[in-house]
Amino acid sequence: MKALNVFLGFILLQACFSFINSQIAHGPGLDLGPIRTDLQNSETQIRNLKRYDYSFCKLYIRDNTTGFEAYTTFHPRVDEFTTLKIPMSNVSIMGNENVVIWMEIPGNKSTTSFYTYNATVDVPKSCTYENGTRLTVTECTDPAVATYNVTEYVMKQGNVTKYGNIVLPPKHVHDLGKNATVNYFTVVVQLANGAITDAVWDGDRINACKDCDQCIDGQCAAKYSDLGCDIGGGCQLKIFMAWAGLDRLKKPCISINKIPSNFAKYSSTSVSKLGLGLLSDFFYRINDNNNNPNRA
């Protein structure tokens, strides 16, 4: 039943976009699979849209007791603050300690992994003792030869570098022991002149969790009882997506200033209260010059 609820919540996942005037940059020109050309009006054809450029992302969810795993694709606009809201997540995800979520973002990130291996090296040894006597070693029978090689084994470090999409580490949503829940996740995507070079969970930055009531896998969380999940309203999992770095036109991204951890610097609202019932208030304030469709 839980798995079914997760599934229902998941297929209903909506991507809501905010409409901020910003300079749109091209994404990295990569995607998470082949682009089908036989589909009209499909999200796979999103690149045909002329007005904005999109980047593909995948949001994964796994319930490790039922084995349920699914993903959905979405396409945030570059340098626009995006909120993903997962309806019914109050039931299926928010109080479920077995659920992890993670994201995959197209890019060409290098990941280097290290390994050790047993290597042979030639170690030169002198053909003479300290007292000048020559060794009785076949390599040293020629009096003109000063050294000979001995093969030894040493452990060496090797490395492999792979290029691929950026996969953020899975994060738990609920911690039964703390009775706490992460009710919003923030992903920051790093751009270098319009190309995605990296992405992180906002909470994975150093000390990012220090102002939070609770902390789960490094992300800001709140007491489950504070979220009003029994009432419904404020208790739906949200994922904020913001952009940092320089866009295609070398203009600094502005959406990074709107993530909750930055926003809190300019606000009397504490981080722990953001994303409870106060989210629409939050959006109003960051974006009060237009009719924001977000009511996350």
Ligand X SMILES: *[C@@H]1O[C@H](CO)[C@@H](O)[C@H](O)[C@H]1NC(C)=O
List contacts with ligand X (CB under 6 A).
Answer: 64, 87-88, 90-91, 97-98, 108, 118, 122, 124, 129-131, 133, 148-149, 153, 155, 159, 163, 172, 179, 224-225, 229-230, 232
| Between 126 and 149, CB nearer to ligand X | 149
| Between 3 and 20, CB nearer to ligand X | 3
Shortest Cβ distance from residue 98 to ligand X (Å)? 5
* Nearest position to ligand X, beta carbon: 225
| Between 42 and 126, CB nearer to ligand X | 126
Shortest Cβ distance from residue 240 to ligand X (Å)? 19
| Between 173 and 220, CB nearer to ligand X | 173
Shortest Cβ distance from residue 262 to ligand X (Å)? 28
Shortest Cβ distance from residue 248 to ligand X (Å)? 16
Shortest Cβ distance from residue 126 to ligand X (Å)? 12
| DSSP secondary structure letters along the chain | -HHHHHHHHHHT-EEEE-----------S--SSPPPSS-SS-GGGGGG-SS--B--EEEEEEETTTTEEEEEEE-PBTTS-EEEE-TTHHHHTTT-TTEEEEEEEEEEEEEEEEEEEEEEEEEEEESB-TTSPBP--GGG-STT--EEEEEEEEEEEEEEEEEEEEEPPPEESEETTTTEE--EEEEEEEEETTEEEEEEEGGGSTTTTTTSSEEETTEEEEEGGGGTTTT-TT---EEEEEEEEB-TTSPBPSGGGGSHHHHGGG-SS-GGGTTTT-HHHHHHHHTTTS------
| Between 39 and 156, CB nearer to ligand X | 156
